[in-house]
Structure 1
Amino acid sequence: MSAQTLAPIGLKPAKERRPFGVVVAGGVMTLVVLAAVLAPLLAPYAPDTIDLSASLVGTSGDHLLGTDSSGQDLLSRVLYGARTSLIAPILLLAIAALLGVTLGTLAAWRGGWVDTLVSRLTDVMYAFPGLLFTVLIIAVFGSGMTTSVLALGLAYTPTVAKYTRSVALAERRKPYIDAYRVLGMGGARICARFLVPNLGRYVVGYLVVLFGEALMSLATLSYLGFGAQPPSSDWGLMVQEGQAAVVQGALLPALVPGFAIALVVVSFNVVGVWAADRLGSRK
Structure 2
Amino acid sequence: MTTLTLTTPAGSRPRRPLSVTVAGALLALVVLAALCAPLLAPYAPDTIDLSASLVGTGGDHLLGTDSSGQDLLSRALYGARSSLVAPVALLAVAAVLGVTLGVLAAWRGGWVDTLVSRLTDVMYAFPGLLFTVLIIAVFGAGMTTSVLALGLAFTPTIAKYTRSLALAETRKPYVDAYRVQGMGGARICVLHLVPNLGRAILGYLVVLFGEALMSLATLSYLGFGAQPPSSDWGLMVQEGQAAVVQGALLPALVPGTAIALVVVSFNVVGVWAADRLGKQDRR
TM-score with structure 2 length normalisation?
0.96
Q: 2:68 is paired with a residue of what secondary structure?
A: coil
Partner of 1:16 in structure 2? 14
- Supply the AA of the counterpart residue of 2:248: A
* Residue 15 of structure 1, CA deviation: 2.8
Q: 2:88 is paired with a residue of what secondary structure?
A: helix
Partner of 2:193 in structure 1? 195
| Residues 11-63 of structure 1 deviation map (CA, whole Å, 9 limit, x = unaligned) | xx543210000000000110000010000000000000000000000000000
Partner of 1:126 in structure 2? 124
Partner of 2:93 in structure 1? 95
Partner of 1:214 in structure 2? 212
Q: Does 1:56 find its partner at 2:28? A: no
- Supply the AA of the counterpart residue of 1:268: F
Q: 1:229 is paired with a residue of what secondary structure?
A: coil
Partner of 2:113 in structure 1? 115
CA RMSD between the two structures: 1.0
* Residue 178 of structure 1, CA deviation: 0.8
User: What does residue range 213-232 of structure 1 map to in structure 2 within 5 Å?
Assistant: 213-232=211-230
Partner of 2:141 in structure 1? 143
Partner of 1:67 in structure 2? 65
Q: Does 1:161 find its partner at 2:159? A: yes
Within 1, Cα distance between the matches of 2:223 and 2:233?
Answer: 12
Q: Does 1:250 find its partner at 2:227? A: no
Partner of 2:30 in structure 1? 32
Partner of 1:272 in structure 2? 270
Runs of at least 5 residues in structure 1 that lack an aligned partner in the other structure:
8-12
- Supply the AA of the counterpart residue of 1:112: G
Q: 2:57 is paired with a residue of what secondary structure?
A: coil
Aligned-residue sequence identity (percent) comes to 84
Match of 1:184 among 182, 188, 202: 182
Within 2, Cα distance between the matches of 1:135 and 1:184?
Answer: 47
* Residue 141 of structure 1, CA deviation: 0.3
Q: Does 1:173 find its partner at 2:171? A: yes
Within 1, Cα distance between the matches of 2:279 and 2:13?
Answer: 16
Q: 2:13 is paired with a residue of what secondary structure?
A: coil
Within 2, Cα distance between the matches of 1:170 and 1:15?
Answer: 27
Distance 1:102 1:35, change over 3 A: same
- Supply the AA of the counterpart residue of 2:82: T
Within 2, Cα distance between the matches of 1:202 and 1:106?
Answer: 18
* Residue 183 of structure 1, CA deviation: 1.1
- Supply the AA of the counterpart residue of 1:249: G
Within 2, Cα distance between the matches of 1:190 and 1:240?
Answer: 48
* Residue 2 of structure 1, CA deviation: 4.5
Partner of 1:41 in structure 2? 39
- Supply the AA of the counterpart residue of 2:225: G
Q: 1:249 is paired with a residue of what secondary structure?
A: coil
Runs (4+) off by over 6 Å: none
